[in-house]
């Protein structure tokens, strides 16, 4: 199933929380496609936290979930223009 939504963020902190409800032993791992996560980004118990969003944070972020049943992912594209930041979420299994 594919879904998408749009949020407007103005120089705020972006927090993306994911849960693997069916498997408490699931491993959630965040990455940024084509580059490493910047040093100011935190990952806390499966939650991605991007403080004070800026143009440096633009890119595609992916959360890979690994369980005994296999691996799936969710990703979103963060685009920053001017003094506003648009967060495009697009998820897929």
The pLDDT, as a whole number, for residue 50 is: 87
Q: How far apart are CA 90 and CA 17, in angstroms?
A: 14
Report the Cα–Cα distance between both ends of the chain, in Å, rounded: 7
Q: Determine the average pLDDT of the residues in 54-65.
A: 87
Residue 87 has pLDDT above 50, yes or no: yes
Range of the domain at 7: 3-92
Tally the domains of the chain: 1
What CATH code is carried by the domain that includes residue 72? 2.60.40.10
Q: How far apart are CA 40 and CA 82, in angstroms?
A: 21
Q: How far apart are CA 37 and CA 20, in angstroms?
A: 22
3-56 confidence digits (pLDDT tens): 444 455 557 777 777 766 666 678 889 999 999 999 999 998 888 898 888 888
The SS3 call for residue 87 is strand
Structure tokens at 24: 């408490």
């Amino acid at each position: 199933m594919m879904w998408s939504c749009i949020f407007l963020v103005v120089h705020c902190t972006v927090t993306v929380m994911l849960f693997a409800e069916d498997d408490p032993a699931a491993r959630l791992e965040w990455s940024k496609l084509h580059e490493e996560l910047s040093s100011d980004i935190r990952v806390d118990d499966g939650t991605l936290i991007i403080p004070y969003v800026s143009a440096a944070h633009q890119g595609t972020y992916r959360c890979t979930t690994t369980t005994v049943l296999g691996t799936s992912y969710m990703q979103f594209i963060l685009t920053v223009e001017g003094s506003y930041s648009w967060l495009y979420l697009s998820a897929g299994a």
